[in-house]
Amino acid sequence: MPSLRRTLRPYGKTAQAILRWKRLSFNDAPPIFGNSKPKSGSHLLLQVLNGFTQIMPYKYVDADPVRTVKYEGGRRTSDEILADLKRVPNGVIGWGYVDATPENASFLTSSGRVNFFIYRDPRDMLVSQVFFATDMHEEHGMHDYYNSLPDFAARLNVAITGIDRDGLKMVSVRQRYEGVFQWLEQKNVMCLRFEDLINNRDATLLSMLDEVEKTGYTIPTPREKALLILIEAIQPGKSHTFRSGKTGGWTKHFTDEHKKLFKEVSGDLLVRLGYEKSNDW
C-alpha cells in the first residue's frame, strides 16, 4: 500500500496544482533544487520548498531526495546521480544530498536555475547525528556501534573523530565539511545557514524569494502574503527527523573534553564558517 501511494502521489499532487493554479503548463517558474548535508537542516529547507508550491506555480516537491549513497550502503556512481538530477520533471522542485562534483555543479548552476544549499553549525550537526543514529534510525550505519558504547559522551567522541575499522567508516567532522566549502565556493548557489532560517527567519525567507526572481521570473503572489505562507509552512515538529529544532543545543552536550577534541580535529573550521571569531570558545 505505501508503494502504491508513492506511485500515485505525483498524479494527485499534479491534479491539486492544476486546480490551484488553473493551468496545465508548469514551465514558467525556474527549476529549483534544495540541497544539504545530512542532519544540517534539509527537512527545514524542504518545508520552505513545499511552501513555494503555494505561492508559485509548481506541481509539487519531489518525494524522494537525490542521494550520493545507496540506501543499502555504498556510493552511487556520478552518472547515476546526474541522471537523477536531470530526471526531476519540469515544474517539480527537486532536493537531495548532492556533492559539488564538476558534473553536478555544472548542471545545477546552469543559467535560469535556482539552488539553495543549507548548512549548520558543525557542533549542533554532530549532536543531531548522534541522537538520530542512536535513537531514531535503526538502519543507520552507526546505530549498532553507537548503542554499543557506554554513553552519549563516548558516541560524540566518535562523531568528532570519525572511525575506520571493523567494517565501519565515517569521516571526521573536518572532512564532512569539505563538501560544504565546495558548495560555498560555487556561483549561482544561495547558501543558507540553518541558524538564519530559525533566528532570522523573515529576512532569510525574503532573500530566498529574491533569489528566485534573480532569474527574471516574477513571483505571482504578493510578497507580504508569500512570506506569511512560508512562515506557516515551517513546522519543524512535523518532520519525522525532528528532535529539537533549536540552535546552540551543542552547549548542553559538549564537555570541556569534547571541546578540546573538536578543536584538535577540526582546526579552524568554525572560524572559516563564521560561527566563531577564534578557537577560544
DSSP state string for 15-54: HHHHHHHT-S---SSPPEEEEE-TTSSHHHHHHHHHHHHH
What does the pLDDT average to over 156-183?
Answer: 93
As a whole number, mean pLDDT of residues 129-149 equals 83
Write down the pTM of the prediction: 0.91
Does residue 237 have a pLDDT over 80?
no
Which tens digits make up the pLDDT trace of 183-232?
Answer: 999 999 999 999 999 999 999 999 999 999 999 999 999 999 999 999 99
- Minimal CA–CA distance to 262: which of 281, 277, 249? 281
62 confidence band (pLDDT: 50, 70, 90)? very high
Q: What is the mean pLDDT of the chain?
A: 92
Give the pLDDT mean for 139-143.
Answer: 76
| Residues 97-114 pLDDT 10s | 999 999 999 999 999 999
Residue 139: is its pLDDT beyond 70?
Answer: no
Question: Could you count the other beta carbons within 10 Å of the beta carbon of residue 186?
Answer: 15
Summarize pLDDT for 159-169 with one digit per residue, the tens: 999 999 888 88
Query: Which set of grid coordinates corresponds to residue 227?
Result: 512570506
Query: Which pLDDT does position 110 carry in this prediction?
Result: 96
pLDDT digit string (tens) for 16-38? 999 999 999 999 999 999 999 98
pLDDT of residue 174: 97
Whether residue 10 has pLDDT greater than 80: yes
Nearest to 241 by CA among 40, 16, 28: 40
Of 72 and 58, the structure prediction assigns the larger pLDDT to: 58
How far is the C-alpha of 53 from the C-alpha of 59, rounded, in Å?
7
User: Which residue ranges form the domains of the chain, and what is each CATH number?
Assistant: 28-121+177-234 (3.40.50.300), 123-174+243-273 (no CATH)
The model's pLDDT over 255-279, given as tens digits with 9 standing for 90+, comes to 999 999 999 999 999 999 999 999 9
